[in-house]
Amino acid sequence: MRKTQRIGVYGLCYYNGKIVAIKKKRGPFIGKLDLPGGKIEHGELHFESLKRELEEELGLTQKDFEIGNILGVWETFSQHTWKDEKLDQHIIAIVYEVDIFRIDLNFIEDGGDSEKIFLIEKNDETFEKTDIFQKVLQKHNLLF
């Protein structure tokens, strides 16, 4: 089993008083809701990475959102198989607050991890969420 680290940047995104989430369609968290965001590419500044991820996963332009304060850094561990390789992954997530002004809820990411965009209420228990998404919601009193 290969040990890896994955450093990503994510947005706790708000739109019209609701939380924006994506449903994962592949990878170790398939079927779970997650924060929009993802891996920081080599040579990419993390803030620029978040902008790129919001554009790719949510179909936003830079006029559609504003990135606010950093909310914190969360970590989790995952053992899974990805592309026929067993991984023991240490995931580090930098999370920012993001206000979204316009969004097409029917947008589907082309070739990415996102299956669908959801708006969820505070204390939503409808869908299973990734570990980091759960931790962020709990820390900010959005899930009890």
- The domain 2-139: what is its CATH number? 3.90.79.10
Q: What average pLDDT does the segment 106-126 reach?
A: 88
Concatenated DSSP letters of 20-70: EEEEE-SSTTTT-EE-SEEEPPTT--HHHHHHHHHHHHH---TTSEEEEEE
Q: What average pLDDT does the segment 8-14 reach?
A: 98
Q: What does pLDDT average to over the chain?
A: 92
* Interatomic CA distance for residues 31 and 135, integer angstroms: 18
1-22 b/e with 16+ CB inside 10 Å = b? eeeeeeebbbbbbbbeeebbbb
* Residue of 92, 7, 89, 88 lying closest to 42 (CA atoms): 7
Reported as a single tens digit per residue, the pLDDT across 51-86 is 999 999 999 999 999 999 999 999 999 887 878 888
**Phi, psi for 76 (deg, rounded to 5):** -150, 170
Q: Which amino acid is at 66?
A: E
Q: What average pLDDT does the segment 31-49 reach?
A: 95
Is pLDDT of 144 > 60? no
Would you mind telling me the total number of residues written for the chain in this entry?
144
Residue 143: band (very low, low, confident or very high) from pLDDT cuts 50, 70, 90 = low
